[in-house]
């Protein structure tokens, strides 16, 4: 008498526990703690990306800018900074650039290129020049030489002014008319008895006498006007003579001081040209260095202005440094990273100040941008931030194409500001731009911006994972040791390193690979170090690593716990025991930020005679995505190609994710939907203790899916909350076995026979596991074995087709009303 098998024994054999979690053995690492290990800070597994970055940094041809693409946490910024800094260290410091006044057109400042370290010297020299002249020019105007020459000039012009007037006065006196000086000017009066006639005496004269005097005065008045007419011209000549005196006097000291500055920069022809214009302007405007001591302009500007940089009138002689490199410190090409790449932060800006309610500016208010600071070196930008700033991307492309930096105000560009502005000379540009972004953005730029591929000819694509070999395991351990040293963490035990490497495998979703998302591993190490410090340990142990991982999951699992609670309380209906026709547990992955977890969903199928349509309710209500719809359409192709191929497909089936109130996408549930359909067609119930994941093709082969670990763990948690019976498990594609890195509690449950993970390759294997009945393989005669799942399905489809044929011939006419009583 044979013993009847239990339900658990009748289930297919699950995968061995060691397959469910392939852990790293601490004994194989070859060290006790990371303190004994030679650490490394080398970026591993990124040879392709490193070669691309090195090429971009070393090639001299233009437009070989580079886009660095990859996921966050891959160490892209750190790698770029390290490699570019090494290349920059071997390059000479680039030229300094300054803006100086254009004396011919002040609104168009001149850009001047200087040797590295020379900009500060020129600015200091110009400050000293003006400070010296502010002392020396006033002293010249107070000198005896100047006073003598000025008095002589005044006497000369005074004499030239008085002589015509004296001659006229003498002629007038001969005619009996006196020339009088009054506060209002010159006045003519008749002379009687040797004295100017008084008004009352004039009135007492006879009319004939008065007319005679009036005619004489009028005639002399015309002559006086002609004499005085030369006065303004004489004043003009006097002013010109004084200006020439000032210029001639100032020229000696100005030329001497300017020559001293020119001698310091005699190797730079452009500086010499600029200083000559400065000399001419200073000679012409010597009064800028002087103000009246009493606050009035009586004398020739005797007060000294000593601090020219505090006085706006001396801005004309200033040197506005755009970029300067101190040779003693910056003996390398610059590496600039701009965290806020706005238009002004990239190309620079022109500031304005308010004067008398009006915005004004000058060349000293031109401010540099990141392109100026990085000129001759490297500029590192975040691609998303750059493209988020208005006009920044266009400005960067324009600068790279023209190989020059033109400063454009955003207000002017938009026409929002109408005020005095400048047109500075463009500065030649020679740099390498490094954009750091993700793969999707790179693809969009290649697709939508035709200029992108011309300007960014290189791409550095960072790998997501690293093969899990013995060599790479050792290398990963050294990298972990390097991070511990770099972050000043406690040394890690070999077991802790092994636990961290297991987490790296888990994050890679592949038991044969390590993730290269090293930022996530650093976070685990830092948190584990905190727990070790709280416990007063000298080492980070595997328990600290496990605690850090557990706590990180716990902090992010609020939604996961609420969903699990809803399942436990049967608010969300999920069966984990018994058997039901046309119903199966499908598995999906839910993401909340950086936390992903699996959740089971009830999938049901209902069938009837119809026109050969498989209705996807999710798609009909626009909750299903295109990939999910594709999976459902594949089910129709599978059914029509496998069963009852000699009759029309006469099936009307509906599929739905029960209690699904959000979007559904992906084809990982297509195999589960097919199992539900086969169960509904065959009438054979499906074990509810088993959940299913995997996509299917039209040949009935089960294909790999993503998130397999999370999906298994999600169903395990549901089963555990209701009590593990040993009849529960998950069906996964055989191709996903290599991706397994399950939690310890699931491995222990599998070892105890309370939970199993079953790998399948075909739909036939899956339906046999779910129903406990043979799927059946078509025989030579074309029929499936009697009683098999496939035979029952085909029989049902043939019955639908026959009933449809009979219905079309009215053989299955609707019953009459009297027959229904």
Q: Which of 668, 670, 679, 682 is catalytic?
A: 668
Q: How far apart are CA 471 and CA 180, in angstroms?
A: 116
Facing residues of 595 across strands? Answer: 592
3-state class (DSSP) for residue 733: strand
Token pair of 580 as six digits: 């039901």
Whether 711 is catalytic: yes
474 closest CA partner among 39, 46, 73, 43 = 39
Using alpha carbons only, give the angle 321, 322, 328 rounded to the nearest 5 degrees. 70
Facing residues of 605 across strands? Answer: 655
Is the CB of residue 657 less than 8 Å from the CB of residue 601?
yes
Q: Which of 660, 711, 754, 788 is catalytic?
A: 711
**Element holding 526 (H helix, E strand):** helix 518-534
- Sequence-distant (6+) residues with CB within 8 A of 483 are 489, 518, 521, 522, 525
In angstroms, how far is CA 208 from the centroid of its own chain? 102
**Hey, how many other C-beta atoms are within 10 angstroms of the C-beta on 524?**
21
Torsion sign (Cα): 531, 534, 536, 538: positive
Token pair of 354 as six digits: 């308010």
Token pair of 136 as six digits: 């020396």
Cα Rg for the chain, rounded, in angstroms?
Answer: 48
Say which residue the tokens 């105000």 belong to: 409
Going by the DSSP 8-state scheme, the letter that residue 743 receives in this structure is: -
Token pair of 401 as six digits: 């194409």
Token pair of 281 as six digits: 């302007």
Going by the DSSP 8-state scheme, the letter that residue 286 receives in this structure is: G
Say which residue the tokens 């009849």 belong to: 727
Cα dihedral angle (51, 57, 58, 59), rounded to 10 degrees? 100
- Sequence-distant (6+) residues with CB within 8 A of 727 are 7, 8, 11, 577, 687, 689
Q: What is the DSSP string of 46-111?
A: -HHHHHHHHHHHH--STTB-EEEE--TTS-HHHHHHHHHHHHHHTSPP--EEEEE--SS-TTSPEE
- Sequence-distant (6+) residues with CB within 8 A of 799 are none
Torsion sign (Cα): 79, 80, 83, 89: negative
Q: How far is CA 341 from CA 68, 386, 404, 640, 689, in A?
A: 17, 5, 18, 58, 56
Q: How far apart are the first and last CA of the chain?
A: 54
Active site residues: 668, 711
């Amino acid at each position: 008498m044979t013993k009847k098998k239990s339900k658990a024994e009748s289930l297919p054999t699950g995968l061995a526990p060691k397959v469910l979690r392939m852990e790293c053995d601490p004994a194989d690492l070859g060290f006790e703690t990371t303190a004994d290990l030679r650490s490394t800070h080398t970026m591993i597994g990124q040879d392709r990306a490193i070669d691309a970055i090195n090429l971009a940094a070393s090639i001299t041809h233009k437009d070989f800018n580079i886009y660095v693409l990859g996921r966050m946490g891959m160490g892209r910024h750190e790698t770029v900074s390290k490699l570019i800094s090494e290349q920059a260290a071997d390059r000479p410091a680039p030229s300094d650039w300054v803006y100086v006044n254009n004396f011919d057109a002040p609104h168009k400042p001149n850009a001047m290129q200087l040797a590295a370290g020379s900009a500060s010297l020129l600015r200091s020299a110009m400050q000293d020049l003006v400070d010296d002249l502010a002392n020396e020019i006033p002293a010249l105007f107070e000198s005896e030489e100047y006073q003598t020459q000025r008095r002589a000039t005044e006497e000369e012009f005074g004499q030239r002014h008085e002589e015509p007037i004296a001659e006229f006065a003498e002629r007038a006196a001969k005619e009996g008319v006196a020339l009088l000086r009054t506060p209002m000017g010159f006045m003519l009066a008749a002379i009687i008895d040797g004295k100017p006639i008084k008004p009352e005496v004039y009135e007492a004269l006879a009319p004939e006498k008065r007319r005679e005097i009036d005619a004489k005065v009028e005639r002399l008045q015309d002559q006086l006007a002609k004499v005085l007419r030369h006065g303004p011209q004489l004043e003009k000549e006097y002013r010109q003579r004084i200006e020439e005196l000032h210029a001639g006097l100032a020229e000696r000291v100005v030329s001497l001081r300017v020559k001293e500055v020119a001698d310091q920069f005699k190797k730079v022809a452009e500086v010499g040209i600029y200083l000559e214009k400065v000399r001419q302007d200073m000679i012409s405007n010597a009064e800028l260095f002087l103000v009246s001591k009493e606050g009035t302009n009586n004398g020739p500007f005797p007060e000294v202005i000593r601090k020219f940089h505090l006085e706006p009138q001396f801005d004309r002689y200033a040197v506005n440094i755009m970029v300067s490199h101190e040779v003693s410190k910056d003996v390398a090409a610059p590496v600039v990273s701009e965290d806020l790449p706005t238009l002004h932060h990239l190309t620079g800006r022109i500031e304005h100040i308010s004067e008398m309610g009006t915005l004004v500016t000058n060349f000293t208010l031109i401010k540099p941008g990141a392109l100026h600071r990085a000129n001759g070196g490297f500029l590192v930008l975040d691609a998303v931030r750059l493209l988020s700033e208005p006009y920044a991307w266009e400005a960067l492309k324009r600068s790279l194409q023209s190989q020059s930096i033109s400063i454009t105000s955003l207000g002017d560009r938009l026409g929002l500001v109408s005020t005095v502005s400048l047109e500075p000379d463009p500065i030649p540009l020679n740099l390498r731009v490094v954009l750091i972004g993700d793969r999707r953005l790179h693809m969009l730029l290649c697709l939508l911006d035709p200029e992108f591929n011309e300007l960014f000819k290189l791409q550095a694509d960072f790998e997501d994972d690293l093969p899990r070999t013995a060599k790479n395991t050792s290398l990963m351990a050294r990298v972990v040791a390097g991070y511990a040293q770099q972050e000043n963490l406690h040394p890690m035990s070999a077991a802790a390193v092994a636990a961290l490497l297991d987490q790296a495998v888990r994050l890679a979703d592949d038991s044969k690979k390590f993730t290269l998302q090293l930022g996530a591993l650093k976070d685990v190490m830092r948190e584990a170090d905190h727990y070790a410090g709280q416990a007063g340990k000298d080492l980070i142990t595997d328990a600290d690593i496990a605690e850090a991982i557990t706590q990180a999951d716990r902090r992010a699992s609020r939604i996961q716990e609420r969903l699990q609670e809803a399942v436990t309380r049967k608010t969300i209906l999920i069966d984990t025991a018994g058997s039901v026709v046309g119903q199966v547990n499908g598995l999906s992955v839910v993401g909340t930020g950086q936390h992903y977890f699996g959740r089971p969903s009830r999938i049901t199928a209902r069938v009837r005679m119809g026109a050969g349509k498989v209705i996807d309710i999710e798609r009909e209500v626009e909750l299903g995505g295109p990939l999910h719809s594709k999976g459902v359409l594949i089910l129709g192709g599978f059914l029509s190609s496998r069963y009852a191929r000699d009759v029309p497909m006469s099936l009307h089936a509906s599929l739905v994710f029960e209690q699904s109130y959000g979007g559904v996408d992906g084809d990982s549930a297509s195999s589960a939907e097919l199992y539900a359909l086969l169960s509904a067609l065959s009438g054979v119930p499906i074990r509810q203790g088993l959940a299913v994941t995997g996509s299917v093709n039209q040949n009935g082969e089960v294909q790999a899916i993503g998130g397999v670990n999370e999906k298994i763990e999600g169903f395990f948690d549901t089963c555990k909350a209701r009590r593990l019976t040993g009849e529960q498990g998950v069906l996964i594609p055989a191709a996903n076995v290599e991706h397994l890195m399950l939690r310890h509690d699931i491995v222990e449950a599998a070892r105890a026979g309370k939970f199993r993970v079953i790998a399948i390759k075909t739909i036939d294997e899956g339906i046999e596991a779910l129903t406990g009945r043979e799927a059946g393989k078509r025989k030579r005669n074309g029929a499936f074995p009697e009683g098999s799942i496939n035979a029952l399905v085909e029989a049902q489809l043939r019955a639908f087709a026959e009933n449809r044929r009979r219905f079309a011939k009215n053989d299955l006419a609707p019953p009459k009303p009297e027959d229904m009583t």
